[in-house]
Chain A
Amino acid sequence: MPPNAYNNFTDYGIGIGLRASHYDHIVSQKPVVDWFEIISENFMIDGGRPLRILDQILEQYKVVQHGVSMYFGSAQRADREHLRRLKTLTRRTNAPWLSDHLCWGSVDGRYTHDLLPMPYTFEAARITARKIREVRDFLEIPVAVENVSSYAEFHVSEMTEWEFLNEVVERADCGILLDVNNIYVSSQNHGFDPFTYVNSVPAERVAQIHIAGHSKYRKYILDTHDHPVIDPVWKLYARAIERAGLTATLLEWDDNIPSFDEVRDEALKANRHLATASLAASV
Chain B
Amino acid sequence: MKLLTLQRKMVRAVMTPLTESERMRQVAPDGRSLRRVSSQIIKPNPRLAAFERLEIYNRQYWFRVLSALAEDFPGLEAVLGRRRFDAMAKAYLADRPSQSFTLRNLGARLVGWLEKHPAWGGSRQGLALDMARLEWMEIEAFDGKKEPALEIGDLAGRNPSALRLRLQPCMSLLALGYPVDELLLAVRKDVDPSAAASNGVAERKKRRHATRVAQLKPTPIFLAVHRVDDEVYFRRLDRSQFAVLSALAGGKSLSDALTFALDGTRGGFEPTTAIEEWFYNWAALGWFCAAEKRSKGKRRPHLRSAE
Contacts and interface: CB of A to CB of B under 8 A. Distances in A.
A118 to B, nearest CB: 9
A258 to B, nearest CB: 12
Interface stretch (A89-97, A104-112, A133-141): A104-112
Nearest to A44: B102
B78 interface: no
Among A112, A154, A222, the most chain B Cβ lie within 10 Å of the Cβ of: A112
B214 interface: no
Interface string A21-46: 00000000000000000000100111
A12 interface: no
B3 A123 contact: yes
B158 interface: no
A112 B15 contact: yes
A272 interface: no
Nearest to B169: A46
B219 interface: no
Interface string B43-61: 1011110101110110011
B65 interface: yes
A151 B46 CA distance: 13
Contacts of B170: 46-48
B275 to A, nearest CB: 29
Given A111-B97, A155-B41, A156-B1, 5 more contacts: A47-B227, A107-B7, A127-B3, A151-B57, A153-B42
23 contacts: A44-B102, A46-B169, A46-B170, A47-B143, A47-B144, A47-B227, A48-B230, A69-B101, A106-B11, A110-B98, A111-B99, A112-B11, A112-B57, A116-B57, A123-B3, A124-B3, A152-B56, A153-B43, A154-B6, A154-B41, A155-B1, A156-B6, A190-B45
Interface of B: 1-4, 6-8, 10-11, 14-15, 40-43, 45-48, 50, 52-54, 56-57, 60-61, 64-65, 68, 97-104, 142-146, 169-170, 227, 230
Interface of A: 41, 44-52, 69, 73-76, 79, 82, 104, 106-114, 116, 119, 121, 123-124, 127, 151-156, 189-191, 219-220, 222
